[in-house]
Amino acid sequence: MPAIDNIIFQVHNLSKYYGPGCPSCAVLTGPEQETNVCPRCGTIVACHEINLDLEQGEILGIVGESGSGKSTLVRCLYFDDEVTGGEAYLAAYGAGKADIFRESSQKKRHIRNHLMGMVYQNPLLGIKPHFTAGGNVAEKLLTADVYHYGDIRKRAAVLLTRTEIPIGRMDDFPAHFSGGMQQRVQIAKALANNPPLLFLDEITTGLDLSVQARVLDLVKEIQRELGIAMLVVSHDLGVIRMLADRTAVMKNGRIVEIGLTDQILEDPQHQYTQLLVHSML
């Protein structure tokens, strides 16, 4: 990790390929070629040599359309998928000197449980419908080694209240909640272990507009209060504009532009970014 003290997360040359791979994959795919699929070997180049870093308390937005690789990127960072190449460093882990992709699965689980939080687009990926809402939060706390029932109850109550879930529903099953409420249980769970780093993958997609607004407000407030660094993935520039300090634009597995959100929106440099910005409703 470089000397800049404020950087808590760094990604070097992250690549994710699906398929056998060949020497021409990198050259024959990308934003200029407008494709992810290598014509020579059929490999899908989901991500190619992604570099980014995240500062303390910052929200970095990743925007792109389908096939841009943004969701793949986040899945790899959360260890849901194995990277094909690249390194990543967390300041909170091993003083930022250990490449987290090379750690054992037990250590990866430790990093996930103690140092990261994740909110998926589909809440049922992040929460277990057969645990109660409180039980879901409890699960995160238990994996973070909190073994006091009273403390667990208190903290779960605090988090669920914070995410605007009525306390009376703490012992109900999320299977019976609305989509928006399920999403908020997921957020409560992701925050349970006070992670220094939070991933948010298309968290408002599929929700009603008013519900979207509430969820986004919640995220912004939490971020202000707790100063958690976040990686927000969305195809919706509106969401990015609302949340992100800096933004990376992805197309066909590469970052085509990265900078302050305001600058990107007002003065997009790359052709594709211009297209995106001008398509905004």
Contacting positions for another protein (CB under 8 A): 105-106, 109, 129-132, 134-135, 138-139, 142-143, 147-152, 171, 173, 175
CB of 58 within 8 A of CB of 248?
no
Based on CB atoms, which residue is closest to another protein, 12 or 153? 153
Nearest of 64, 6, 56 to residue 264 by alpha carbon = 64
Nearest CB to another protein, comparing residues 182 and 223: 182
Q: Give min distance, CB of 175 to another protein, in A.
A: 6
> Rounded CA gap, 166 and 97, in Å?
42
Closest approach, Cβ 97 to another protein, in A, equals 24
In the complex, least distance from residue 110 CB atom to another protein, rounded to whole angstroms: 10
Closest by CA to 163, choosing from 124, 206, 205, 219, is: 219
* 137/219 with CB nearer another protein: 137
Q: Which is nearer to another protein, 35 or 56 (CB)?
A: 35
Q: Which is nearer to another protein, 5 or 171 (CB)?
A: 171
Sign of torsion over alpha carbons 66, 69, 70, 72: positive
**Cα dist from 188 to 57, 68, 156, 201, 228, whole Å:** 18, 29, 8, 15, 14
We find the least distance from the C-beta atom of residue 132 to another protein, in angstroms, to be: 6
At 218, the amino acid letter reads L
Least distance from another protein to the Cβ atom of residue 113, Å: 8
Q: Cβ contacts of residue 253 below 8 Å, gap of 6+?
A: 29, 30, 36, 45, 46, 47, 48, 68, 69
